[in-house]
């Protein structure tokens, strides 16, 4: 069986504290340095899920029996429900989120999918990390030994045989050793209960006398949650479009649900933005910095970040490029968007559709302002993402209908 006792003992540090005493903990999760102020009674599983938003670590029995919460601590499998987070100061933790990226899965994840070993998915994170630990430490394990070696994770539904097959196939494909986790990089981690990563530590620091313009927007490393590219043909001359793009106040007014609230100097601005998905309404307060504004190339680049009171956080690197055409102006928007917290639960497809629709509405507002010369007349109320997605689907259906009609 895969061992859970050794890393627990190795990683323990003595902590003398009452259950509700707050203890500062510093460890690394999936390559990201993390600083947490936690009551001493908080387990590693709860710290990962509630304070860092890493909900891939599932909690089942909370007695160390079922194995659903298995993670890697200093490279060895460990039960996250049996460890107090304050014991792990200085440890390296890898969760299922660090194993592979959605667009570049770890071989174990690929094999699980290929062999239909996922079933409901609740036990999958525990099995993946237990299997990783097993193949990393005992690559010579035989098929006959697999049931006993993986018995530390309890799931015996109809997918169990397929789980064994998936692990066996991966072992056969990598007899010299399984590849390391492929999604460990420094990024922003924010959960529901106020945890923070080192990349956002400045946000929680004590108020400073330094002017706001010293604030830096640091985007996470690694792949963005969604990447958006929207091209829009505007029947307006380039000079009129650039007049809109060159005025940050007018530009912000063209963004659905956005409002510029303060100019902080040195191309740094404060503002708020709202979006609604059904009954969920998110109100972000944040800052944006204009990094580039060049009429010769028709380019404006902006870094932005915002957070709502529920812990949802969004950061974006947005580039707008306007170029003159015979019919007017082509406006291209490229955006790399990073989502954490509950907004990240929307899923890439939905978040991508919402973002694209918002940029389409933004381009239409730019066209109206460039044409009329008047400030955009739009409400700062939260735009309905649901209506945006429905409108997108209707547009797609219309396009399909037009194509078929032309056949």
120-173 pLDDT, tens digit per residue, is: 889 999 999 999 999 999 999 999 999 999 999 988 777 789 999 999 999 999
54 and 169 fall within a common domain: yes
Give the pLDDT band (50/70/90) at residue 394: low
Q: What is the mean pLDDT of the chain?
A: 79
Greater pLDDT, 137 or 339:
137
How far, in Å, CA of 168 to CA of 173, rounded? Answer: 9
Give the H/E segment covering residue 240: helix 238-245
Q: Are residues 283 and 141 in the same domain?
A: no
Coil, strand, or helix at residue 29? strand
Tell me, yes or no, whether 141 and 238 share the same domain: no
**Residue-wise pLDDT tens digits, 19-36:** 777 888 889 999 888 888
- Tell me the sheet residues that pair with 289: 268, 303
Q: Are β-strands 92-94 and 22-29 bridged in parallel, bridged antiparallel, or unpaired? A: parallel
Q: Do 43 and 145 fall into the same domain?
A: yes
CATH number reported for the structural domain that contains residue 312 in this entry: 3.30.530.20
**By CB neighbour count within 10 A (0-12 exposed, 13-18 middle, 19+ buried), where does 129 fall?**
buried
Q: State how far the alpha carbon of 250 is from the alpha carbons of 246, 255, 258, 329, in Å.
A: 8, 9, 11, 18
User: Which tens digit of pLDDT belongs to each residue from 305-317?
Assistant: 887 655 567 888 9
Which of the 8 DSSP states describes residue 297? T
Q: Give pLDDT, residue 262.
A: 80
The CATH number of residue 110's host domain is 3.10.20.30
> Would 162 be classed as within a structural domain?
yes
Statement: residue 39 has pLDDT above 70: yes
Q: How confident is the model at residue 50 (pLDDT cuts 50, 70, 90)?
A: confident
For 38-60, give the DSSP string: EETT-BHHHIIIIIT--TTS--S
Q: What is the pLDDT of residues 190-213, one digit of tens each?
A: 555 544 444 444 444 444 444 444
**Helix, strand, coil % in the chain, rounded to nearest 5:** 35, 25, 40
Residue ranges of E strands in 136-267: 196-197, 226-234, 258-265
pTM, full prediction: 0.54
Q: Are strands 226-234 and 92-94 parallel, antiparallel or unpaired?
A: unpaired
The verdict on residue 8 lying in a domain is: no
Domain end residue (candidates: 145, 173, 201) = 173
Domain span holding position 124: 22-173
Nearest to 246 by CA among 203, 295, 284, 286: 295
- The sign of the torsion formed by the CA atoms of 228, 269, 308, 25 equals positive
Greater confidence (329 vs 207) lies with 329
Contact 265, 289 (CB under 8 A): no
Cα–Cα dist 214/224, whole Å: 25
* Biggest alpha carbon–alpha carbon distance for the chain: 76
Same domain, 142 and 257: no
- Give the percent of the chain with pLDDT over 90: 33
At 93-108, the pLDDT tens digits run 999 999 998 778 999 9
Which pLDDT score is estimated for 212? 44
Give a yes or no: residue 251 inside a domain: yes
In a domain, 402, yes or no: no
Query: In what order do the strands lie in the sheet containing 32-39?
Result: 76-79, 70-73, 92-94, 22-29, 32-39, 196-197
Collapsing DSSP to helix, strand or coil, 211 comes out as coil
- Please count the structural domains in the chain: 2
Contact 23, 87 (CB under 8 A): no
Rounded Cα distance, 247 and 365, in Å: 14
Instruction: Check whether residue 101 and residue 239 sit in a common domain.
Output: no
């Amino acid at each position: 069986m895969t061992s859970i006792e050794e890393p627990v003992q190795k990683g323990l540090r003595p902590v003398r504290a009452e259950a509700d005493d707050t203890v500062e903990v510093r460890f690394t999760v999936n390559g990201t340095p993390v600083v947490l102020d936690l009551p001493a009674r908080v387990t590693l599983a709860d710290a990962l899920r509630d304070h860092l938003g890493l909900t891939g670590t599932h909690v089942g029995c909370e007695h160390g029996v079922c194995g659903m919460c298995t993670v890697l601590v200093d490279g060895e499998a460990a039960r996250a429900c049996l460890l107090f987070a304050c014991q792990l100061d200085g440890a390296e933790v890898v969760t299922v989120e660090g194993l592979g990226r959605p667009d570049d899965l770890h071989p174990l994840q690929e094999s699980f999918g290929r062999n239909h070993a996922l079933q409901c998915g609740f036990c999958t994170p525990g099995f993946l990390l237990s299997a990783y630990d097993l193949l990393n430490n005992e690559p010579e394990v035989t098929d006959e030994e697999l049931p006993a070696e993986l018995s530390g994770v309890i799931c015996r539904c109809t997918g169990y045989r397929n789980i064994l097959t998936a692990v066996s196939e991966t072992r056969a494909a990598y007899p010299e050793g399984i590849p390391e986790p492929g999604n460990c990089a420094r990024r922003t981690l924010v959960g529901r209960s106020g945890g923070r990563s080192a990349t956002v530590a400045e946000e929680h620091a004590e108020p400073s006398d330094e002017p706001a313009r010293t604030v830096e927007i640091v985007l996470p490393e690694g792949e963005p949650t969604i990447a958006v590219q929207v091209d829009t043909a505007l029947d307006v001359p380039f000079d009129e479009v650039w007049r809109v793009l060159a005025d940050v106040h007018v530009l912000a007014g063209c963004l659905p649900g956005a409002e510029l609230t303060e100019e902080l100097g040195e191309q740094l601005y404060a503002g708020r933005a709202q979006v609604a998905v059904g009954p969920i309404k998110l109100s972000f307060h944040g800052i944006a910095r204009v990094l580039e504004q060049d009429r010769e190339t028709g380019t404006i680049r902006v870094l932005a970040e915002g957070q709502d009171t529920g812990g949802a956080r969004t950061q974006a690197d947005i580039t707008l490029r306007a170029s003159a055409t015979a019919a007017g102006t082509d406006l291209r928007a490229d955006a790399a968007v990073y989502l954490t917290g509950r907004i990240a639960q929307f899923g890439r497809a939905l978040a991508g559709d919402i973002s694209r629709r918002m940029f389409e509405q933004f381009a239409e507002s730019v066209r109206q302002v460039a044409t009329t010369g008047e400030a955009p007349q739009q409400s700062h109320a939260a735009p309905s993402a649901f209506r945006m997605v429905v409108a997108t689907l209707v547009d797609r259906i219309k396009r399909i209908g037009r194509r078929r009609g032309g056949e």
